[in-house]
Structure 1
Amino acid sequence: MVADTRLTLRPIAGEYGTGINAASEAIKALAAEGLVRLEGKSGARVITRDLNRVRSEGVLRMAIECEAARRCAERVDNVQLSVLRGLADKVDRLFAAGDDLKGCRNADIAFHRTIVEFCGVPELWPSLMPLLDRLVTLDQTENRTTEIPGQKHIEVYEGLKSRDPEQAAIAMRQHLEHSLSMALASFYT
């Protein structure tokens, strides 16, 4: 979709061979992800990808997830560590294979969500979820590099496993700085 394009229900439903209700739900889902702006009964508009917005959302994501990593490292038990290890391994394996983008995205989000769940502050998830979904999607669809970003997930796990809050936060920050750099690079390619 081109930035500032107006989206209306009938043309979208026709183009995708679906009903108006399905098209309406799809537009609402895009709005919830911050990709379109609803304009009342007149439809919606595609939001312009903005370098400053991506940077700001990345910084906000870092603040939330570094705090979640700190708290998780303090609270995590051995069973939870085992779950996180399995998720980190899965994400890294999917990235290495490189043939299942949707699986990578879902596993990546599951890994980060589980850290938030284990941190003991469930209120963080509603703030993080729209940022995470949008930035992970941007990171994985806009950027194709020879480096495998998934290798960093095991490093986040190692930071959590240390049970040292600062070490966990540093590992998370490095992981997210890498992802944000990739997302920002898409503006220059």
Structure 2
Amino acid sequence: MGLDHPDVHVAEPEAGQKPAERAYETIRSAILSGELAAGTHLREEPLARMTGTSRTPVREALHRLTAEGLALAQNRHRYVADFSFHEVAVIFELRARLESYAATLAATRITREELDRMKGLIEEIDGLGDASGEGEAERFFGLNARFHEVIIAATRSSQLRALTAQAFALPLVTIKRFVCEQEINVQRSNAQHRDIVTALERRDPEWAAAAMMSHIISTKPTALASRRPGA
């Protein structure tokens, strides 16, 4: 869906929100939801209308989105990034390496409260069953993301949080395209979650890193899914 499409949402200004932040949040949300499709030319004037701001805040927002990898700069123009199968595979590899290192740090820094929070998320995922329905699958992705966010927070590293932010920004529509078309093995994923939590409770950095690495790699999309009709 392009910027000139009549169904593109126009943001309502929030009280006290700065124009640059509003432009950033609105454009980013539109990209992550798929409202602004891959390859869309991010022109400043239509984006200013969409965000209810001017071109200057939009320009600032586009700089941030380009830094995050959600937009690409080409000859002074910007476009919504196209996450091909190859790019998605790279992102999963990056996540595996970054998050395994995060688990290494978290093993020596995580609190009892954070461990209990992770256990609570595991119980919530158990309640989803096999997550075969669309609503349950989306719920699983949300709970799974929160589980991983606790570990990143437990590193107590602002640098690591910044590094993982770009990989975590993978659009939901892209996740659905490459992952949801494959079978989601919720029970296996949650068993791996339990293994990660046990390693963190034991304060074992090597075990935590290995458990995290295998967990993420096991969910990496396969080339088969990328070749399916409509992929």
Report the TM-score, using the length of structure 1 for normalisation.
Answer: 0.72
Match of 2:216 among 166, 176, 179: 176
Cα distance, 1:110–1:169 mapped onto 2, change above 3 Å: same
Give % identity: 21
Match of 1:84 among 118, 129, 134: 118
Q: Over aligned residues, Cα RMSD in angstroms?
A: 3.6
Q: Which letter maps to 2:218?
A: H
Match of 1:118 among 154, 157, 181: 154
- Gapped regions of structure 1 (runs ≥ 5): none
1:11-90 correspondence to structure 2 within 5 Å: 18-21=50-53, 24=58, 28=62, 31=66, 33-38=68-73, 44-90=78-124
Cα distance, 1:10–1:136 mapped onto 2, change above 3 Å: closer
* Greater RCO (CA < 8 Å, at least 6 residues apart): 1
- Gapped regions of structure 2 (runs ≥ 5): 1-35
Q: Higher Cα Rg: structure 1 or 2?
A: 2
Secondary structure of the 1:45 match is strand
Higher helix share: 1
Q: Which residue of 2 aligns with 1:106?
A: 142
Cα distance, 1:75–1:30 mapped onto 2, change above 3 Å: closer
Secondary structure of the 2:183 match is coil
Q: How far does residue 49 in structure 1 lie from its aligned partner after superposition?
A: 2.6
Secondary structure of the 2:156 match is coil
The runs of 4+ residues in structure 1 deviating greater than 6 Å are none
Q: What is the rounded CA distance, in whole Å, between the counterparts of 1:69 and 1:137 in structure 2?
A: 27
For residues 92-130 of structure 1, give each alpha carbon's deviation from its aligned partner in whole angstroms, at most 9, with x where no partner exists.
Answer: 545726415554443222211111112333421110012
Q: What is the rounded CA distance, in whole Å, between the counterparts of 1:138 and 1:180 in structure 2?
A: 13
